Amino acid sequence: MGLLAGLALAPRPVLAQATMPPAKLEALKQELIGEIDKQQKATQQMVDMVFSFGELGFQETETSRYLTGILKKNGFVIKYGIAGVPTAWTATWGAGKPVIAIGSDIDCIPKASQKPGVAYHDPIIEGAPGHGEGHNSGVPLNITAVLALKKIMEREKLPGTLMLWPGVAEELVGTKAYFVRDGYFKNVDACIFTHVGDNLGVSWGDSGNNGLISVKFNFDGQAAHAAGAPWRGRSALDAVELMNVGWNFHREHMEVTQRSHYVIADGGDQPNVVPSKATVWYYLRERTYPKITEMYADALKMAEGATLMTKTTTTHEVQGSAWPVHMNKAIAEAMYQNIQLVGLPQWSAADQVLARAAQVEMKAPKTDRRNRPIDGLATKLDSLRGPEKFSIGGGSDDIGDISWNVPTVVLSYPANIPGLPGHHWANAIAMATPIAHKGVTAGAKAEALTLLDLLVRPEIIKNAWTYFNDVQTKDTKYTPLMLATDKPAINLNQSIMAQYRPQMQKFYYNPAKYKTYLEQLGIAYPTVRPAPKAGTPQ
C-alpha cells in the first residue's frame, strides 16, 4: 500500500527543570485556584464567543483569529498556518525545559445549530452548523489555565515552555497526524489535551476506541442521455453503489470491533444525464494499526471491483487518519490527584432542571456504558480509569497520533449533559450556559495544577517517558496511516460555511453589549417544555 515506514521518536531528556518544596507547591496551587476563579468572566466570554462562531472543520477562521488574538495580547508568539492548514497555529510562551503542549479541538458539527439553554430543538438558524460536540469550550479552558499559570511562572522565575495549539477539523480527523509528521511535537516533553465531557476525569492506557482512515473514492465514467442513449454511458454512480453493496455484504465477515460508514458525497448532477463522476466517502475504523490497514486494502479492492463491473475508473484521496488512543499513566495519576483537589462544580437548581429536561427530550438511557446512573448533572467524581479490558470498538480521535509520539493525557471536564446522543444539536444545549462556564472553570483548575506539577516535579515527566518507552511503545511502534504525499483536505466545508456564515454573523456574541450569550439571544435560563395540563392526552 506504500504506507510510510515507522516513525518512533526518542525520549527527550528534561534539563534544568525547577523543583519546589511540597508546602510551597501546595500554596501555589491554592493561589492558582483563586486566580482562575477571578477569571470566570473572561472564561465565560471566550466560551460564548466561540460558540457563536459555530465553524466547521478547516473553516475555523473567526475562531482562530479570536483565540490567537487573546494569546498574542498576553505575550505568546503565534505561528500561523502550521502543517499547511490555514486555521491551525501554535502559541508559545516561556523558555527552557520542560516543553509542554496544551491542546483542544475547535470545530463544530453540521446542522447542529441550537439555542443554548433551551431543552428542545430550537435552532438559531435552521440547517446551520453548531457546537453539537462542545468544541467551543476546550481552548478557552486552556487559555484560562495558562494565563493563570503564566503569572506564577513569571513571579517565581520558573523555567518551562508552554505551547498551545488547536485541534482543527477533529470531526474529520483531519490534522493532528500532519502536525506530528511536520515535526511540531518532536521537542515536546508532555502533552495535555482537553475534551468536553460530563464529568471531571482522566484515564490511562488503551482507551478502547478505534483508529481510522478517512478516504474518498472518486469514480469516473462517461456521460450520455439517460433516456435517449443510455448504452453510451458509463455510470460513475453505478460504481459507487456497487462498491457500497459489496462493502455491506463484506460486513458479515468482519470482526465485531470494526466500524465503517459512508456518505455519497457526489451522486451526479441530474437524473437525465448518466453521471460521469461520483464520489463516496468512507470512514474505516478498527482497533489496531494492522487491522485498519487491512480494512483499507479491502476497500481498495472493492473500488477496483466496482470499476470492472461498470467500465469506469477510480482514484482515492485520504482525507484524514487517526491512531487508537493510548494515554500516559504517570501524568494521568498526577492529574487525578489534582482533580480530587478541585472537585465537581456546584450545580444550581436551574442547571439540573435544564439537564433533566434535555435527558427527557432525548430519551436518555437510565445508565451509561459504565453503568453509572444518568439523572441530571454529575455530582460524584469519576474514578481514575485504567486500560479497557475488553472493547468492541467505537469512536476515534486523532489525538491518538500525538499520544504515540509524546506522553499524553486527555482531561475530560463537565461542561455538557450526560446521556445525550453526541454529534447532535442536543449536545449544544449546555454549551453556552452556566453548565459549560462552571465546567470549564473546574477543568482549567485541574489543568493548571497539573501543569504546575509538570514544571516543578521532574519525576513525573521522567516516569511518563519510562512508561512511554518501556510499556506503551515496547512492542508497538507508530507508523503513519497516510502517505508522505497526502495533504490536509483544507477545502472541505467551504461551501457550507459560505452558505451560512452571512446569516451566522448576525448572531455573533457581543460581550461589550451583553453579559452573556443567553442575554443576547433573549433566552430565559432554563427554557424547558411546559408541563402538560391535567387530562391532556399524551
Q: What pLDDT is attached to residue 371?
A: 84
pLDDT digits (tens, 9 = 90+) for 520-535: 999 999 999 987 666 6
Query: Which grid cell is 434?
Result: 452556566
Residue 451: count of CB within 10 angstroms of its CB? 27
pLDDT band with cut points at 50, 70 and 90 for residue 538: low
Listed range (197-206, 303-312, 523-532) with the worst mean pLDDT: 523-532
pLDDT at 334 over 50: yes
C-alpha 264/C-alpha 388 separation (Å) is: 34
pLDDT at 465 over 50: yes
Q: What pLDDT is attached to residue 7?
A: 36
Spatial CB neighbours of 65, under 8 Å, sequence gap ≥ 6: none
**Burial annotation 122-138 (CB, 10 A radius, 16+ → b, else e):** bbbeeebbbbbbbbbbb
* Cβ neighbourhood burial of 168 (10 Å; 0-12, 13-18, 19+): buried
pLDDT band with cut points at 50, 70 and 90 for residue 472: very high
Mean pLDDT within 279-286: 97
pLDDT at 123 over 60: yes
- Give the 3-state secondary structure of residue 498: helix
Mean pLDDT within 468-491: 95
pLDDT band with cut points at 50, 70 and 90 for residue 14: very low
Arch. (CATH architecture) of 211-321: 2-Layer Sandwich (3.30)
pLDDT at 399 over 50: yes
Greater confidence (264 vs 390) lies with: 264
Query: Which grid cell is 230?
Result: 443510455
Q: What pLDDT is attached to residue 204?
A: 98
pLDDT digits (tens, 9 = 90+) for 25-34: 999 999 999 9
Q: What pLDDT is attached to residue 3?
A: 33
Mean pLDDT within 400-405: 98
**Burial annotation 358-367 (CB, 10 A radius, 16+ → b, else e):** bbebbebeee
**Burial annotation 497-536 (CB, 10 A radius, 16+ → b, else e):** beebbeebeebebebeeeebbbebbebebbbbeeeeeeee
531 phi and psi angles, rounded to 5 deg: -65, 140
pLDDT at 5 over 50: no
Q: What pLDDT is attached to residue 391?
A: 83
Q: What pLDDT is attached to residue 537?
A: 58
C-alpha 209/C-alpha 310 separation (Å) is: 37
Q: Where are the beta strands (DSSP E) in 415-467?
A: none
Amino acid at 403: S
pLDDT band with cut points at 50, 70 and 90 for residue 4: very low
Q: What pLDDT is attached to residue 10?
A: 44
Domain extents in the chain: 38-81+127-145+173-180+326-387+428-472+509-537, 211-321
- Given a contact cutoff of 8 angstroms between Cβ atoms, the answer to whether 93 and 160 are in contact is no
The chain-wide mean pLDDT, for the chain, equals 95
pLDDT digits (tens, 9 = 90+) for 126-150: 999 999 999 999 999 999 999 999 9
Percentage of residues in the chain with pLDDT exceeding 70? Answer: 95
- C-alpha to C-alpha distances, 95 to 91, 145, 182, nearest whole angstrom: 13, 18, 22
